[in-house]
Structure 1
Amino acid sequence: MAVAPLLAPPVRARLVVSKPPTARVRKRISTLATLSPPQRSTVDWVKETASFFEKDSRPIMLFDGVCNLCNGGVTFVRDNDRNRRIRFEALQSEAGKKLLRRSGRAPDDISSVVLVEKDRSYIKSEAVLKIMEYINLPFPQLAFFLQFVPLFMRDFVYDNVANNRYAMFGRSDSCEL
């Protein structure tokens, strides 16, 4: 018994050539291509804020001055920092805005607590863990264990609380400091 070879039907490809862009489109493309990149700040914010650490090398905790949760956090840290190892500054203050820029954040970004040390800055859950290392027992030990929780999970929880902090805890008219 002879087996007939399987033949596939011939495939016909169609080549579609698009029309070249019109002069109007070319003009728009060339206009977009000639836009200059956004101007970067030429200010060296580390040097600009170096005076904050000349006489006092303690880290600075930046917090939302009108957030009741944040103000409660400052009170908690202050009560549990017997050696006064952390300083505080509202994000809305002029010094806070300069320190935000030093940390690579926008000066009007009040979405996160920031801990600024002389050589480094921490944001979100990393800032909270670092602050816990500075205050009294048992918080440094708790921070040690929490560092093993992946950063994306810690920041997910942090962002959910931060995004709803006014609804859950309210706002005050002014900073308590």
Structure 2
Amino acid sequence: MPQFSRTRTTFARALAVGALTAAVGGSLVACGSDDSTASSTPEQTTSAASESAAPSSKAGEKSSSPVTSPSEAATAPPETPESVPSEFPGPTEVPVSAEGQKFLDELENRGLTPAGDGQIAISAGDFICASKEQGKPDAETLVFLTPMVGSDAAASGKELSPVDAAAQAQVYIDAANAVYCK
């Protein structure tokens, strides 16, 4: 008889696992179709809108912030955007200081023409001076300066090889040490 009892227990377990699997599978299927994206927007009902739009007439209650409709997010931007100030987002050109202009002129005297208004080159010069103040050797500064010089060249439409960018970075270091870093 023990064999019959063991078979009955195994059968009961298998039946229970099968029933549980069917229940879980059925509940997942009942969640909807296999489409995982939201394809419709909720519709606003007139009764909900009139209830939420009606002001409270009870005395002593504090007025709360306006309630949005179900189809509008609470963080939605306003219907009409606010006007932008005339000086937004600020000046289109940053003025170059006298020291910065000396640095740009020195680069041009050494055969390099910085891109645009020279802001990338001036930032590179500021980096060189900060590295010098921290006591960093030129070789270490050159490692970080070479990509800056490459981006300055790319901004002016030129493509430099890594060797050329390193050579120009050395020119930047020499020019900054000569006229820009104090």
Normalising by structure 2, what TM-score?
A: 0.24
Q: Which has the larger radius of gyration?
A: 2
Normalising by structure 1, what TM-score?
A: 0.24
Q: Which has the higher helix share?
A: 2
If asked which structure has higher relative contact order (CA below 8 Å, sep 6+), I would say: 1
